[in-house]
Structure 1
Amino acid sequence: MMGMQQKPLLMAGICLLFAGCTVGPDFRRPDAPAVSGYTREKLAEHTAAADVAGGQAQSFLSGADIPSQWWTLFHSQQLNQMVEDALNNNPDLAAAKAALVQAQENTYAAQGVYYPSLDANASASRKKTTGSQYGNPGGRGTQFNLFNASVDVAYVFDLFGGERRNVEALAAVAESEGYQLEAARLTLTSNVVTAAIEEASLRGQIAATEEIIESEQQQLEMLQKQFELGGISKSDVLAGKTRLAQTRATLPALHKKLALIRNQLTALAGRFPEQESGSAFTLSALQLPQQLPLSLPSELVRQRPDIRAAEAQLHTASAQVGVATAKFFPQISISGSFGSVATTTANLFSPGTGVWSIGTNLLQPILHGGSSIHNRRAAVAAYNKAAAQYQSTVLAAFQNVADVLRSLQSDAEGLQAQTHAVQAASEQLDMARAQFSAGAINNLLLLDAQRSYEQARISLVQAQASRYADTAALFQALGGGWWHHADTTAMTSAAQTDVKP
């Protein structure tokens, strides 16, 4: 027969066994996709090159790491300053930081369930009783004061881990907010760089258009002289005026786009439109990075903050299944109180005034109209939804990288072809002008040559800007190097305690 000394040890062992029981699934981090590349066909070792600004060939460094300040690779101090201003002043980024702090504090608050609660109570009241309350209708009433001071202690035994799963879920929410902050930071820096490139492109298009207008103005003056000499008809002069007016009409739209992009840059930097810095971005002031790091596909899921945020949300849904499962099991709590009750404050804590109580409570859900079953089914469905959303995020990320890689190669080839097109259009225009001066061709052929050259010049500027924009898009698609931040905020350790690899 078991001895009296063994029974307490057995009960303690049972309590420890229950304390280590956590119902619900243990979260497993999804495996990286079993793919070896981003595209079906093998990538070329380097892109095409063109003899123009922004036309340098770019090579891919497979497995190379991404710097956290990737925008500095464009070697523009002005761009670096604009990005720094945005990181310091953008309100959306400040909101994301506040959301992270909120989620962290919610996690810390929930961890209080691991410890007993301790409350101090004090009360004072004046009462009157009658003899009828005690079975003596004729008795006189009594008036007295009553003072109470006590300390209450309570503790809930988390035998089946429902509270631990809840803390795990909140920690995963904080982890998700951390990665969403990194995603917001990456989006902000990418938007600043892209907007700066767009501004440079628009300034290049405006400069090219103004050069074309000046050339057409000179051409119109020559037509006017030829008309005065009787060499051409009035319709030729009118055609030249029409062409000049059409070219000038494109300028207001370009200036409008430039103003809008400047407003966007100012807002990204957390300033009002009237506080615009006044600095101007040009393509000639930007250098195209010639070596591009290309992360391995197996690393992309660890580097993309949107994927990491989706993974943390999946972790949250997994923990919520455990929370719902724990509702089926008993809940045991213990509470106690120690204090003093007296009719005067002077007698509080004097001998004979002490009161105390201790008790335990067990709650076993039995019948709740099926709500517990359906709540758990809902939690399982939420987990399946989060798993599908995670898979969708991964697929979109790989598509994003594949699209950017294709754009880098195609736009490099496009710039090369457009450079040749401008050279050919320029030679054609020079020949047309010479032939027109010699009377070998009419004005319509000259206008066609001018139109082809104008379109080629504008397209060249746009093609140059595409090379810079594609490069920025690649850094964004690969995660932007957030893991190198000295103050990285993603809470990678918040959920590792509960993750079962």
Structure 2
Amino acid sequence: MRSFVVIVLVGLLSACSLTPKLERPAPPVPASFPDVGHAAMTQGGIVPASAMGWRTMFADPQLQRLIELALVHNRDLRLAALNVEAARSMFNIQESTRLPSVSLDASHTRERALAQGNSGESRREVNRQVAVNVGTSAFELDLFGRVRSLSDAALARYLASEQGRDAAQITLVGAVAEAYFAQRLADEQLQLAERTLADWQQSLELARLLKQSEQNSSLDVAQAEGQVALAEADLEARRRALAQADNALQLLVGSELPGDLSAGLPLERQSVIAQLPAGLPADLLLNRPDLRQAEQMLVAANADIGAARAAFFPQISLTASFGYASTSLGGLFDPSRQVWRFTPQISQPLFQAGRLRAELRLAKVRKSEAVAQYERAIQTAFREVADALAGTATFDLQIEAQLRAVTAAERRLELSDLRYRAGVDGRLELLDAQRQLQAARQALLELRRAEIANRVALFKSLGGGLGERDITKIAAVTAAQ
């Protein structure tokens, strides 16, 4: 047994590794974001977007409640959490193979057999044996680092699953916010359609009154009726869009929407932070869980190469046991009844029909795939941030211009209505003014929703959405710096 302990300790201390040194590829993106000026740089005293909680980003109480429910009930996030637990168990299983497994075995055997006597006659005898053994079975001495490489790969995949869970939470928070603002848009579009229908119904009544007083023709009435019919059709479409938006939001939340939700704020009153410090492209590697996940998968693929290389070398395993064996229970632990067994075994692959080389090539290919996926994840993150920053730089000016367009359309409708009532202009001019105003208002709603969605996209692309830091704490940190 002393020699067994010595061999095990030597094997544990002398294990080498055939895993190649991992050299992470340089980020395949420009050194700075394009055309964003000073707004993209992290200034002193500003909390990074990745450290800004979703409660700080989204101040609408109804949206905060919906995000809370989604973090509890959403099935995709629940699956991501279960994947973490599964990966951790797999790592624990693989890690356990690096140490010997010790078991205690106790047995009591009774058998009836034929025995040959001195006189040559056969007789039946009952034999009994009691045994107690402590030992280990087929413990591999990791001289070439195969078991260690497999353990390192399992650990990297476990860490990657944790990052995947965080990435799933960021995605979920952003998806709930986007679905909520889409619902707000659908609700406001429905209200606008209802107001438009009411206005056009009044216009139809006016046209009929003028027809009765013979101040216009049946053509004006027909035009007004057609306009009301279009408004009614649009109203039904808006009702359908709102119902579908409710269904999409409920699916993300993962449960039925509670009836005690506070009233949602209109889009123009949504307090969503617009200016977020983007930092440098290299900072994304530290802030985005999906990039850290891709990096850990690259580490796992690199460790698999070490395990595939070690498979070419001999594998040494040990089986040993120590205990007592006796024909009676009373004398089982007598020193003279001690028994032991020590069985070292070495196995060297000689002919595998190319299997080991194919496994090594496959491991190298998997690493190349992991490198490509890592680089693609970086490029995708860079584009997401750059697109969101481009939107931040242009949406304010576009909304301002659209507001002026709505104001001009309202003024035109007011003047057209006065001229129509005075008989200066015909019905077509009034109808065109009404349609222009309705289209301008719908475009403004769409634009406001797109601008808020761009803020959400920037928040997500910078790695925000994990914490629940309060705005007052962030203000205190900013003031302290």
TM-score normalised by L of structure 1: 0.85
Check whether the contact 1:61–1:292 (CA below 8 A) recurs between aligned residues.
no
Shift of 1:21: 1.2
Provide the secondary structure at the position in 2 that maps to 1:100: helix
2:204·2:224 contact (CA, 8 Å) conserved in 1? yes
Query: After the TM superposition, which residues 97-116 of structure 1 pair with which residues of structure 2 at under 5 Å, given as runs?
Result: 97-116=81-100
Matched, 1:27 2:22: yes
Deviation (angstroms), 1:288:
3.9
Matched with 2:310 is 326
Is the 2:88–2:158 Cα contact (8 Å) retained in structure 1?
yes
* Partner Cα separation in structure 1 for residue 18 and residue 68 of structure 2: 47
Match of 1:473 among 453, 457, 460: 457
Cα distance change of structure 1 residues 328 and 215 upon mapping to structure 2, 3 Å threshold: same
1:169 is aligned to 153
Q: CA deviation at 1:186?
A: 0.2
Q: Which residue number corresponds to residue 447 of structure 1?
A: 431
- C-alpha deviation, 1:243, in angstroms: 0.2
Count of residues in correspondence between the two structures: 459
Residue 192 (structure 2) aligns with: 208
Answer whether contact 2:159 2:296 (CA < 8 A) is retained. Answer: yes
Deviation, 1:422, is 1.0
Give the whole-Å Cα distance in 2 for the aligned partners of 1:160 and 1:409: 56
Q: 1:43 aligns with which of 12, 36, 45?
A: 36
Q: In structure 2, what is the equivalent of residue 178 of structure 1?
A: 162
Q: Please give the alpha-carbon distance, in whole angstroms, between the structure 2 residues aligned to 1:419 and 1:206.
A: 20
CA distance in 2, matches of 1:145, 1:17: 40
Equivalence for 1:407: 391
**In structure 2, what is the equivalent of residue 299 of structure 1?**
283
Give the distance between the partners of 1:298 and 1:28, measured in 2 at CA.
16
Q: Which residue in 1 is equivalent to 2:273?
A: 289
RMSD: 2.7
Q: CA deviation at 1:71?
A: 4.7
Mapped contact 1:123–1:148 kept (Cα < 8 A)? yes
Q: What whole-Å deviation, never above 9, does each CA across 1:42-83 have from its counterpart, x for those lacking one?
A: 2256xxxxxxxxxxxxx6554551133145234222222222
For residues 99 and 382 of structure 1, what CA distance do their matches in structure 2 show?
21
Aligned 8 A contact 1:129 1:142 in 2: yes
1:200–1:283 Cα contact (<8 Å) kept: yes
Superposition pairs for residues 242-257 of structure 1, below 5 Å?
242-257=226-241
Match of 2:209 among 225, 233, 239: 225
Judge conservation of contact 1:76–1:285 (CA < 8 Å) in 2: no
Q: Structure 2 vs 1, CA of residues 235 and 458 (structure 1 numbering), >3 Å: closer, same or farther? A: same
Shift of 1:92: 2.2
CA distance, structure 2, for counterparts of residue 135 and residue 431 of structure 1: 133
Checking the alignment, whether the CA contact within 8 Å between 1:175 and 1:312 is kept in structure 2 is yes
Contact 2:142 2:148 in 1 (8 A): yes
Choose which of 62, 65, 73 in structure 2 pairs with 1:81.
65
What is the one-letter code of the residue matched to 1:270?
A: G
Query: What's the offset of the Cα at 1:84?
Result: 1.9
In the TM superposition, residue 26 of structure 1 has moved relative to its aligned partner by: 2.8
Q: 1:18 deviation in Å? A: 7.2
What letter matches 2:428 in structure 1?
A: L
Q: CA deviation at 1:278?
A: 4.8
Q: Is the 8 A contact 1:327 1:372 kept in 2?
A: yes
Which position in structure 1 is the counterpart of 2:440? 456
Structure 2 stretches lacking a partner, 5+ long? 471-481
1:202–1:455 Cα change, 3 Å? same
Aligned to 1:424: 408
SS of 1:268's partner is helix
Partner of 2:320: 336
* Residue of 256, 265, 269 corresponding to 2:249: 265
